[in-house]
């Protein structure tokens, strides 16, 4: 046991994700059970620099497990990217006698945590909170399940209109560098085509696919497009298809930040609780500079650098299955 750890700070950083509050709740309650003092840092690294820390008790995290967003708020800090900014953050933590930190966020959050921890020798444990599901070392990240459920619900409603009017809908979902949301939304909603950042495609291939559907008297179609698709977003792809293939009345729907909000699903609440609980245990076991994840239903730990830099691409089998099921 790392008996020198008495005070822990927890914060959320980067984009918010449904389930972050459930993770905060688990961190606070496990830390309290272990007779540790737990502090919440407001607005991520920006709040760390400014010394905006507040003591958290078990009662402070009651009635938040079902809430989206983050009660600790979140922000991106350019100042923390500088040596001077990180020194200010270190001084703030020392002023509150903080011995270790738990960071809830994604790539940028863990990159900052890794650099800061090595510069100032403060243990950090990371909890993967990002709807993109793009971190290695965990099967799912906090918020991913909620995001795809939100997207599928939206696509189901769009399907009603597409069917009623015999339309071709291009639906854009989040995923600047990752196609996990698009792929799972496409499979779950029965979309005709899925365009993702990890896979090069072209408009001609898409049009050929749509022509096959038209030949089968398919009266409408849904195409799910990740915002980071190499060929462009939904609007650009839709315009190119309309120019070359006017069989359908073409429309575009961009779901956008709707995917980030809302009450977390049961799966995200359970995952967040496991990760938050495991993060406190990890610190007391002497672990540092690692991300806690769940792989094959087992809690696991991955060094920050490996979690950030190891490519995590959608499974090829899922891609193959999606193509066949869409025929």
- The set of catalytic residues is 132
**How many CB atoms lie under 10 A from the CB of residue 3?**
7
Burial zone of 79 (CB within 10 Å; 0-12 exposed, 13-18 middle, 19+ buried): middle
DSSP 174: S
Provide the token pair at 300. Answer: 């696991």
> DSSP letter string over 10-57?
EEE-SS--TTHHHHHHHHHHHHHHTT-EEEEETTHHHHHHHT-EEEE-
Q: What are the start-end ranges of the E strands in the chain?
A: 7-12, 37-41, 53-56, 100-105, 124-128, 167-173, 193-195, 221-226, 249-254, 290-295, 298-303
| CA dist., res. 21 & res. 294, Å (int) | 18
Q: Nearest CA to 27 among 1, 56, 6, 67?
A: 56
| CA dist., res. 150 & res. 313, Å (int) | 22
């Amino acid at each position: 046991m790392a008996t020198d750890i008495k005070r822990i700070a927890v914060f959320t950083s980067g984009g918010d994700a449904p389930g972050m509050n459930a993770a905060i709740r688990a961190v606070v309650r496990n830390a309290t059970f272990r007779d540790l003092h737990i502090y919440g840092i407001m607005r991520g690294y920006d709040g760390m620099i400014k010394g905006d820390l507040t003591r958290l008790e078990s009662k402070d995290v009651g009635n938040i497990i079902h809430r989206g967003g983050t009660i600790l708020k979140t922000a991106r800090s350019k100042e923390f990217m500088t040596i001077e900014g990180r020194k200010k953050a270190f001084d703030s933590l020392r002023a509150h006698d903080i011995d270790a930190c738990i960071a809830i966020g994604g790539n940028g959050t863990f990159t900052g945590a890794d650099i800061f921890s090595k510069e100032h020798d403060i243990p950090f444990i990371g909890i993967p909170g990002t709807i993109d599901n793009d971190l290695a070392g965990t099967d799912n990240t906090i918020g991913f399940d909620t995001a795809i459920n939100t997207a599928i619900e939206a696509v189901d409603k769009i399907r009603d209109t597409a069917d009623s009017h015999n339309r071709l809908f291009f639906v854009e979902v989040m995923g600047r560098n990752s196609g996990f949301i698009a792929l799972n939304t496409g499979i779950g909603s029965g979309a005709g085509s899925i365009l993702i950042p990890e896979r090069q495609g072209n408009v001609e291939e898409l049009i050929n696919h749509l022509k096959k559907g038209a030949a089968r008297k398919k009266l409408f179609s849904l195409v799910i497009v990740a915002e980071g698709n190499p060929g462009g977003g939904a609007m650009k792809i839709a315009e190119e298809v309309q120019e070359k293939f006017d069989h359908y009345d073409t429309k575009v729907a961009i779901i956008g930040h709707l995917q980030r909000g809302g009450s977390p699903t049961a799966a995200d609440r359970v995952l967040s609780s496991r990760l938050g609980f495991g993060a406190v245990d990890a610190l007391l076991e002497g672990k540092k500079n690692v991300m806690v994840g769940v792989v094959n239903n087992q809690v696991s730990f991955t060094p920050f650098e490996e979690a950030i830099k190891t490519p995590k691409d959608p499974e090829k089998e899922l891609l193959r299955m999606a193509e066949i099921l869409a025929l």
